[in-house]
């Protein structure tokens, strides 16, 4: 995203001046949504992709297209034959990738043209080719397995056309420079837009008649992208007003785009972008500390209303738990049905933070709902957490085609046949109708694909509906839970969506954070709280076990202790791709949470090992997204956009700030210097387009805090008294707090603190004798007297906000 808006005009001008209109082919988006085939592959012999591990590439292993995976074999053949490359990028749960496969890549005529004329590469994002294929080399790339390759060519397409997406279709020269690109192409010309066969003919013609101009444009584009996307700081000194200006501007932009009716920021389609809620909650805390309670409450209402509408909407899987990718309408009703791990982890943390702020167990229950879905459906035998579930599945066993949402939608009759006496209560609660309920917005189902089908949605809170049926909220909720259990059992017999069981380090890092934080935050739930299906109501400690198992899996299977390097992903073994910035940054964040909330020093030690300078631009500041060791990846990009996933630079900045509060002055200063240099790289963006960088805005403000709050807990970690103190520490929302847990009996642990921060080691040793748990709270360069009870600690940690609130 980094300079995409500025690049678009420059690249468009460059392209149009040298290649003219035949190659200015944009995305064509209209077609039937009946998606990928579930039929067998007709006895076709497997192609090269059959030897790959990626679920996405394996889905194309029996295409008649002569696919190559991304690699030197394909590059050499393209150079030897002197022909262009067709690069197709997608991922295994991508709906439109499936569509293009059926229409084009499974088409024998298209495959023959591709195989006779050109070279094709697939990189775990599937693109579909139709009746005429242009390139001798056809490369297929899994976007989730090779995000570095995807980022280069997605940036090109986005800059040239003002937008991108998957499947991503790009035509390259034999030296891998882009010639043109787009996303989904229908097989034939439609609605005044060129079909894939037309595109192929135009590119072939241009390559034969205008090759020099095409290659000059490709070289120019890469150079301009390289200049724009590897920004360097002109100065390492940050202006004093940067934190305040960027934070306030971002919040103001979000407030101005807030939807007061349905919640969320912006219009349809609505994505649950958790970093938006995170910065709003961060600003809530800032307002409370400043005594601006009215402003704080206004922000809180926006976030809680948004989270309420999301949880009640169809974007939330009421029967099985977890959240779908996004809603196609403004009311969070009809979703794009795939489920992504990176969404689940981030959304959990937002609901946990909101629970801490409001004390309303509704939000903690939604967090549990997501975590229990992950535990049930998305975790492997060794604790690894899988990547995604597809949107598409067969409507019945043996169906010739898959359809989006068929696993999740219901007819009224199916519900009536299953629920018996509770049918009317359930149908009223979830807006179920015999004609189907996808009618709340013109955008919900514009092509009548869900005619007669229902996507469950709660249009009114359960408390109001309980009154309508003359029942207590508890009894009403139990009935709904029992109904959901019955429907879940019925749904489990349907053909399931494809599970992408690839293990991605970065996404596991986000989930590890959520499970670790839940293990303590949920201890603040009211005693005797009752839960209903699909929430299990397990002890919060069980979530810590999930986080530790996932971290152990990565350490054992995706980490080389000798080189201190990560692999990016795992499926039947580690991937060939190295770990990228997001893998390191997100995992470090998860490990820091695992240490702060769980207390085992091993996780802190590993986080420190991973926080090296592999991606750091020592001269220019900030972090590149790749190690820069693969010559086939043409660009090293410094990403800053906090989108569906936060940027690696934003997370890295916060990691450094957290680590700086653990180490003594010398090491702490080095970490802070790297943060300052990083923020200086993105200063212009923070000032001019802060809405794109909400998490980095938070990082800038965190850095400006004179002294981060430290809570040092000393005692016997396994004792109930110590665990009660840990729970009290995390019973309130405070993003500017570092928690250190020390057990004086652990010799290795004390050696670490003696060598890392002698002041903390001395504080631990000076704790009152004979106590199983003691808490020291330090901020603003001073420490309060130690406390030995959870009640006293809770009061001490909240006195600043409480005092500001009462003063207001």
3 state SS of 286: helix
| pLDDT surpasses 70 at 89 | yes
More confident residue, 108 or 410: 410
CA nearest 679: which of 245, 85, 337?
245
In terms of Cβ atoms closer than 10 Å to its own Cβ (0-12, 13-18, 19+), residue 52 is: buried
Determine the pLDDT at residue 231: 76
Max CA-CA distance within the chain? 86
| Structure confidence at residue 33 as a pLDDT band (50, 70, 90) | very low
CB-based contact 370:347 (threshold 8 Å): yes
Residue 138, pLDDT score:
63
Handedness of CA 244, 249, 252, 258 (dihedral sign): negative
- The predicted-structure confidence for 49-79, as pLDDT tens digits, reads as follows 898 888 888 888 899 888 988 889 989 988 9
How high is the mean pLDDT of the chain? 89
What is the separation of C-alpha 494 from the centre of its chain, rounded to a whole number of angstroms? 28
- Please report, to the nearest 10 degrees, the dihedral formed by the alpha carbons of residues 343, 157, 234, 707 taken in order: 0
* pLDDT bracket for residue 352 (50, 70, 90): very high
What is the Cα–Cα distance from 117 to 44, expressed in whole angstroms?
Answer: 21
**Residue 131 confidence (pLDDT):** 28
pLDDT band at 41 (very low <50, low <70, confident <90, very high): low
What average pLDDT does range 3-10 have in this prediction? 42
Cα distance between residue 765 and residue 745, in whole Å: 11
Give, in degrees to the nearest 5, the angle at Cα 396 between 392 and 401.
50
For Cα atoms 189, 106, 153, give the angle at the middle one, nearest 5 degrees: 70
Q: Which two tokens stand for residue 623?
A: 């972090």
Contacts of 730 (CB under 8 A, 6+ apart): 356, 517, 520, 521, 523, 524, 597, 739
pLDDT at 421 over 80: yes
How much of the chain, in percent, has pLDDT values that exceed 90?
67
**Alpha helices, DSSP H only, in 92-146?**
95-100, 108-117
Residue 563 scores a pLDDT above 80 = yes
77-81, 194-198, 690-694: segment of lowest average pLDDT:
194-198
Rounded CA gap, 529 and 525, in Å? 7
Looking at residue 140, its pLDDT comes to: 63
Please state, in angstroms and rounded to a whole number, the distance separating the CA atoms of residues 773 and 367. 29
The Cβ of residue 447 has, within 10 Å, a number of other Cβ atoms equal to: 10
Which is higher by pLDDT, 222 or 324?
324
Q: How many whole angstroms separate alpha carbon 653 and alpha carbon 648?
A: 8
Q: Which of 313, 322, 323, 329 is nearest to 270 (CA)?
A: 329
**What is the pLDDT at residue 802?**
53
Taking the C-alpha atoms of residue 770 and residue 621, their distance in angstroms, rounded to an integer, is 49
Is a pLDDT exceeding 60 seen at residue 135?
no
Q: pLDDT grade, residue 807 (50/70/90)?
A: very low
Alpha-carbon torsion, ordered 318, 324, 327, 328, to 10 deg: -120
Range(s) for CATH 1.50.10.10 in the chain? 241-391+497-704
Pair 611, 579: CB distance under 8 Å? no
Name the token pair of 284. 């809530």
Question: Would you call 780 exposed, middle or buried from its count of C-beta atoms within 10 A (0-12, 13-18, 19+)?
Answer: exposed
Using CB atoms within 10 A of its CB, is residue 805 exposed (0-12), middle (13-18) or buried (19+)?
middle
SS3 string, 161-204, reads HCCCCCCEEEEECCCCCEEEEECCCCCCCECCECCHHHHHHHHH
Identify whether the C-beta of residue 207 lies closer than 8 Å to the C-beta of residue 194: no
Whether the pLDDT of residue 18 is over 80: the answer is no
Closest alpha carbon to 299 in 351, 255, 331: 255
Mean pLDDT of 316-341: 97
Q: How far apart are CA 200 and CA 129, in angstroms?
A: 9
Distance, in Å, from the CA atom of 149 to the CA atom of 632, rounded to the nearest integer, reads 8
DSSP letter string over 16-33? HHHH-GGG-PPP------
What mean pLDDT comes out for the span 744-766?
Answer: 95
Closest residue by Cα to residue 49 from 13, 95, 92: 92
For residue 12, is pLDDT > 80?
A: no
> Hey, what are 747's tokens?
């010799």
Torsion of CA 762, 768, 771, 777, to 10 degrees: -60
For position 316, what pLDDT does the model report?
Answer: 98
Element (H, E) at 339: strand 339-340
Residue 123, pLDDT above cutoff 80: no
**Band of residue 148 on the pLDDT scale cut at 50, 70, 90:** confident
The whole-angstrom separation of Cα 187 and Cα 106 is 12
The residue count for the chain: 808
Residue 800 has pLDDT above 50, yes or no: yes
Contact 666, 759 (CB under 8 A): no
SS3 of residue 230 by DSSP:
coil
| Residue range 737-749: mean pLDDT, rounded | 96
What is the b/e burial string over 205-223, where b = at least 16 CB atoms within 10 angstroms of the residue's CB? ebbeebeebbbebbebbbe
Q: What is the DSSP letter of 262?
A: T
- Strand-pairing partners, residue 715, are 773
pTM of the model: 0.86
Q: Give the residue from 514, 548, 540 showing the smallest Cα distance to 350.
A: 514
At residue 274, the 3 state secondary structure works out as: helix
What band does 595 get if pLDDT is binned at 50, 70 and 90?
A: very high
Are the beta carbons of 386 and 408 closer than 8 angstroms?
no
Choosing among 3.40.30, 3.40.50, 3.90.79, 1.20.950, the CATH entry for 709-801 is: 3.40.30
Cα distance between residue 356 and residue 449, in whole Å: 41
Q: Hey, what are 614's tokens?
A: 């592999």
- The CATH number of domain 241-391+497-704, selected from 2.170.16.10, 1.50.10.10, 1.10.12.10, 3.40.50.300: 1.50.10.10
Report the C-alpha gap between 93 and 101 in whole angstroms.
Answer: 13
Count other Cβ atoms within 10 Å, centred on residue 400.
9
Distance set, CA 482 to CA 148, 453, 724 (Å):
46, 22, 34
Give Cβ neighbours of residue 479 (< 8 Å, ≥ 6 apart): 422, 425, 426, 471
- CATH fit for domain 48-230, picks 3.40.190.10, 3.40.30.10, 3.30.1370.60, 3.40.50.2300: 3.40.30.10
Compare 674 and 191 and report the one with higher pLDDT. 674
The pLDDT of residue 142? 66
CATH 3.40.30.10 region(s) of the chain?
Answer: 48-230
Across 629-645, average pLDDT = 90
Is the bond preceding 595 in cis, omega lying within 30 degrees of 0?
no
């Amino acid at each position: 995203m980094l300079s995409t808006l500025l690049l678009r005009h420059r690249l468009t001008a460059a392209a149009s001046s040298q290649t003219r209109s035949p190659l200015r082919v944009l995305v064509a988006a209209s077609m039937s949504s009946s998606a990928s085939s579930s039929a067998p592959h007709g006895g076709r012999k497997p192609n090269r992709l059959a030897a790959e591990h990626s679920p996405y590439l394996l889905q194309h292993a029996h295409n008649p297209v002569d696919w190559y995976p991304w690699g030197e074999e394909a590059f050499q053949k393209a150079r030897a034959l002197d022909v262009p490359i067709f690069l197709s990028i997608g991922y295994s749960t991508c709906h439109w990738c499936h569509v293009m496969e059926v229409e084009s890549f499974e088409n024998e005529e298209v495959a023959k043209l591709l195989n006779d004329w050109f070279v094709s590469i697939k990189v775990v994002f599937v693109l579909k080719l139709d009746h005429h294929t242009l390139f001798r080399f056809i490369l297929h790339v899994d976007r989730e397995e090779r995000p570095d390759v995807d980022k280069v060519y997605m940036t090109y397409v986005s800059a040239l056309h003002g937008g991108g997406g998957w499947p991503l279709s790009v035509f390259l020269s034999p030296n891998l420079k882009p010639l043109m690109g787009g996303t989904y192409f229908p097989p034939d010309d439609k609605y005044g837009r060129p079909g894939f066969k037309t595109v192929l003919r135009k590119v072939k013609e241009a390559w034969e008649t205008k090759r020099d101009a095409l290659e000059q444009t490709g070289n120019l584009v890469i150079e301009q992208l390289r200049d724009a996307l590897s920004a360097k700081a002109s100065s390492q000194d940050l202006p004093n007003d940067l934190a305040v200006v960027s934070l306030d501007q971002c919040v103001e932009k979000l407030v101005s785009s807030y939807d007061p009716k349905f919640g969320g920021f912006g219009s349809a389609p609505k994505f649950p972008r958790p970093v938006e809620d995170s910065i709003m909650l961060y600003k809530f805390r800032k307002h409370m500390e400043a005594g601006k309670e009215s402003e704080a409450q206004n922000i809180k209402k926006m976030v809680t209303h948004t989270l309420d509408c999301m949880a009640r909407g169809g974007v939330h899987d009421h029967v099985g738990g977890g959240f779908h990718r996004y809603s196609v309408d403004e009311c969070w009703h009809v979703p794009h049905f795939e489920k992504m791990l990176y969404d689940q982890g981030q959304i959990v943390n937002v609901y946990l933070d909101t629970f801490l702020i409001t004390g309303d167990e509704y939000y903690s229950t939604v967090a549990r709902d997501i975590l229990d879905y992950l535990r049930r459906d998305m975790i492997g035998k060794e604790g690894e957490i899988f990547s995604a579930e597809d949107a598409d599945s067969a409507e019945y066993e043996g169906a010739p085609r898959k359809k989006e949402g068929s696993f999740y939608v219901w007819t009224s009759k199916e519900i009536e046949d299953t629920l018996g006496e509770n049918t009317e209560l359930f149908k009223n609660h979830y807006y179920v109708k015999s004609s189907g309920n996808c009618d709340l917005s013109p955008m919900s189902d514009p092509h009548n694909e869900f005619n007669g089908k229902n996507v469950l949605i709660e249009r009114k809170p359960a408390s109001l509906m309980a009154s309508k049926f003359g029942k207590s909220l508890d009894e009403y909720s139990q009935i709904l839970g029992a109904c959901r259990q019955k429907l879940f059992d019925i749904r489990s017999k349907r053909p399931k969506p494809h599970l992408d069981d690839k293990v991605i380090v970065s996404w596991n890092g986000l989930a590890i954070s959520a499970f670790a934080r839940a293990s303590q935050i949920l201890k603040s739930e009211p005693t005797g709280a009752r839960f209903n299906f699909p929430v299990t109501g397990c002890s919060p400690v069980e979530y810590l076990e999930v986080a530790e198992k996932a971290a152990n899996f990565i350490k054992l299977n995706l980490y080389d202790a000798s080189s201190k390097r990560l692999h990016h992903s795992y499926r039947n073994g580690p991937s060939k791709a190295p770990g990228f910035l997001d893998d390191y940054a997100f995992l470090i964040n998860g490990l820091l949470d695992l240490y702060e909330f769980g207390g085992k020093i091993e996780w802190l030690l590993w986080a420190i090992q991973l926080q090296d300078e592999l991606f750091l631009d020592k001269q220019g500041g900030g972090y590149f997204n790749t190690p820069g060791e693969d010559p086939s990846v043409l660009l090293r990009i410094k990403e800053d956009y906090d989108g569906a996933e936060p940027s690696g630079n934003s997370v890295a900045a916060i990691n450094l700030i957290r680590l700086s509060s653990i180490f003594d002055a010398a090491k702490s200063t080095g970490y802070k210097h790297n943060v300052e240099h990083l923020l200086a790289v993105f200063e212009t963006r923070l000032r001019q387009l802060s809405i794109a960088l909400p998490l980095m805005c938070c990082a800038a403000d965190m850095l400006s805090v004179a002294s981060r709050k430290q809570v040092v807990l000393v005692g016997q970690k396994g004792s109930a008294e110590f665990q009660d103190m840990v729970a009290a520490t995390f019973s309130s929302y405070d993003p500017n707090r570092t928690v250190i847990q020390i057990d004086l009996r652990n010799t290795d642990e004390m050696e670490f603190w003696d060598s890392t921060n002698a002041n903390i080691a001395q504080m631990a040793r000076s704790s009152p004798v004979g106590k199983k748990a003691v808490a020291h709270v330090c901020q603003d360069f001073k420490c309060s007297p130690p406390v030995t009870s959870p009640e006293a600690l809770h009061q001490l940690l909240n006195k600043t906000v409480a005092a500001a609130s009462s003063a207001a």
